[in-house]
Amino acid sequence: MMTNPIEASDIYDLLSACAAGQLGDNPAKGSELATYLSEQSTDMAAQFSQTTTLKIQLEHHHFVLQQVLQRCAVEAWRDFRRPRINYTDLPARCPKCAELLAGQWHCNLCGLELYRWQKHTGSDDSMGALPWGYALLPDPRRNRLIFLRLEPKTEVVWQVSLPARLNLNIRSALFLPNQEILLSSPNGKVVIVNLFGNVIWECKLPLIQPVYAGASQDGQTIYIADAGLQQVFKLNRDQQVLWSYGSAGQAGHDENYLNQPHCLFESPEGAYLIADTGNHRVLEISELSQKVKRIWGPELDLAAPTRVAAYPERYLSILDPSQFRLLDFLDAEVESDCTYYQNGLDPRYRLTQAFGAIRRENGHFVLSNTERAVEISPLQKRLLWFSLLTDLRLPLLPETPPVPASEKALPSTHLRSPFKLEETLKQVSVFATAPDEFFQKIKLCLRYEEYPAGHILIREGQRGDAMFVIKHGEVEILKEFQSVAILGSGDLFGEMALLNQASRNATVRIRSKVQLYRLNRLAFETVVQSFPEIYQRIKTLAHARQLTESDGQAIVNPAMSSESAKERLQKLMDSHKERLANLRSKARPPVSAGVQAAGPIHWTLKYSSLEQELIREAQFQNYRCLEMHIRLHPQCKMKSVRVSLLVMNLEKSAEIIKTHPLPEDILKEAFDSQVVLTVLTHASRSHLIEEALRVAEIEDVQAIPVQF
């Protein structure tokens, strides 16, 4: 794909904004700093004609910037600053693909919905001022915002790290004109930040749980839905409330009452649309009379609609994520009713409690929650792509404090030795005393592979089946989303997969284009059997590793019978009783009983003082405590077997300390379709959810942190 060349002016604008973020003001034209940035921008523009990534290190008086600058980030910055298009007349051809429009505000070739860019009063839609081909995703767990460019491939082009002091738990994000971002947080805040995370406006209303914030096309009017106050508001940036609906602090289903509203949208005609989530409906309210003009709900079987939007040309859409439904209306009639997930589909596409929702320029939806994101084509009824949010990362513009000259490290004098495959293979401990013939045969089994930067080669928690040797390039080792090591030419990783098929204990991401060799376990076992001493040493090490892992984690054979699964559940029940008995023998100060675990569902387990003490001790040892809320399919048969298999899957990376119902009731199948397992683990929540979803007939899984 051809791209426009990077201009020095594009880079200068970006560097000037960085300087403004550090120094509090843009460098004055003609000043020393402006001249310095202009010179650097010219050099960088020339370098971008030869490469896609630059490692820059700028220092001028108090301005210091050290980072890796990527071409895609400069292109995104340029796109963000382009004036927004607003059509007054229909163009003859589609501005995206040049197809003849034949009098329609909708392109039949590329799907571009031009009617959404007609200038009007009222709310802006979910794309806001984003350029075509982009999406903005909130990532509340990592306190950041992710900008994706979706064409020609899905890639992160910009990332905004939000200040920790704000204590945001982002639930909606809208890109406004002038490169501003409107955010809502159920912690009681609605703020506007710039592309560097600096707060430039904050709502002063006494909000409780604002789960949604929208804006007008010019970004000057703000729309807020507060699920805690049971109210919706329209206000300006001067903090003046222009319109509101609902009774403060009182939920209800009659006229003038709301129940957990999740969206407020002003239509081009001036009516207000409210997603009245707790009442399973969408309301249309007259601005002047505040009377209900229309209700969407019972006749559509809505369960918990969270988003509604109206467009010119009499279009309207409703998102009901609890049922995985997207509904489009034309002239108040249902034009499309798409269920984007059903049982039997790949569970990775199962997006529960979706709060991030963007309708793209071509009608596709990009949905996200705290764990993952998907893109859906309602017209084609297709799921287009899936990604964990942890995999969507580009560390642009990190906050790098200035380094005093006295503390700067001297350039490294260490030079890596030239790559020699046989010497690298000898670094593997089990190969230490192998003869030359062994290495000659192993080299014949190696498969040469190349991967681009950003590719995820190994994912934490997956089964391992190969070892890798790096010939050229670098890879990054990540644990819990944090970088722990960088490996380069001559390094190897994944060697424990040659001993057994244990789960990978880290994620490996390609840092720069890499050339490497893969040694599959099957090919390795074929060679090593010709060398009895090495073969025996490997069997001994594999057995020792399995015993070590079994001390803290259950080594599970997926082919275990249902009887052995039930025996494991019985053993769990016995160990739980023994653990509680040991705790009772310790003289400890009492802890207040009956504290509930926090979580977004309507009920959680209660913990006795002894159980709380156990959890506190584990957390002190850097374990996290999670409640796994699992819902089985209503028609599931042999529920106890499913739960037993579920227990075995989870115990590969967690220790289960409490169940609801009790283990004996599970074995008797004296429960409905809901099971809760409290676990202690070092693994990520997304990993545990994936492990749980591997069991058939699991309909839904939530992992909720336990906090006292």
**What tens digit of pLDDT does each residue of 365-413 get?**
999 998 889 998 887 777 888 888 888 876 443 333 443 433 333 332 2
Name the residue type at position 347.
P
Query: Which tokens is 69 given?
Result: 């600058």
- Residue range 581-599: average pLDDT? 38
Least confident of 276-280, 497-501, 599-603, 639-643: 599-603
Distances (CA, A) of 673 to 229, 601, 667, 697, 705: 33, 16, 14, 10, 22
Give the CA angle between residues 463, 391, 48 to the nearest 5°.
130
What pLDDT, on the 0 to 100 scale, is given for residue 592?
30
Band (pLDDT 50/70/90 cuts) for residue 418 is low
What pLDDT, on the 0 to 100 scale, is given for residue 569?
59
DSSP 3-state of 265? strand
Q: Percent helix, strand and coil across the chain, each rounded to 5?
A: 25, 35, 40
Band (pLDDT 50/70/90 cuts) for residue 110 is confident
What pLDDT, on the 0 to 100 scale, is given for residue 586?
44
Is 574 a residue whose pLDDT tops 70?
no
Band (pLDDT 50/70/90 cuts) for residue 588 is very low
Three-state helix/strand/coil letters over 15-82: HHHHHHHHHCCCCCCCCHHHHHHHHHHHHHHHHHCCCCEEEEEEEECCEEEEEEEEHHHHHHHHHHCC
Q: Is 536 exposed, middle or buried (0-12, 13-18, 19+ CB in 10 A)?
A: exposed
Q: Mention every residue, 6+ apart, whose C-beta is less than 8 A from residue 35.
A: none
> Where do the DSSP E strands lie in 195-266?
199-202, 210-215, 221-226, 231-236, 241-245, 261-266
Give the CA angle between residues 393, 308, 271 to the nearest 5°.
135
What pLDDT, on the 0 to 100 scale, is given for residue 449?
87
Name the residue type at position 624.
R
Cα 61 versus chain centre, distance: 38
Distance CA 571, CA 8 (A): 68
Query: Which tokens is 48 given?
Result: 């971008």
What pLDDT, on the 0 to 100 scale, is given for residue 367?
94
Tell which residue, 701, 646, 644, 654, has the closest CA to residue 678.
654
- Residue range 32-61: average pLDDT? 84
What's the pLDDT tens digit per position in 616-634?
778 777 788 888 888 888 7
Band (pLDDT 50/70/90 cuts) for residue 204 is very high
What pLDDT, on the 0 to 100 scale, is given for residue 381?
74
What's the pLDDT tens digit per position in 670-705?
777 888 899 988 877 767 887 888 787 887 787 777
- Residue range 348-371: average pLDDT? 88
Contact 160, 144 (CB under 8 A): yes
Band (pLDDT 50/70/90 cuts) for residue 598 is very low
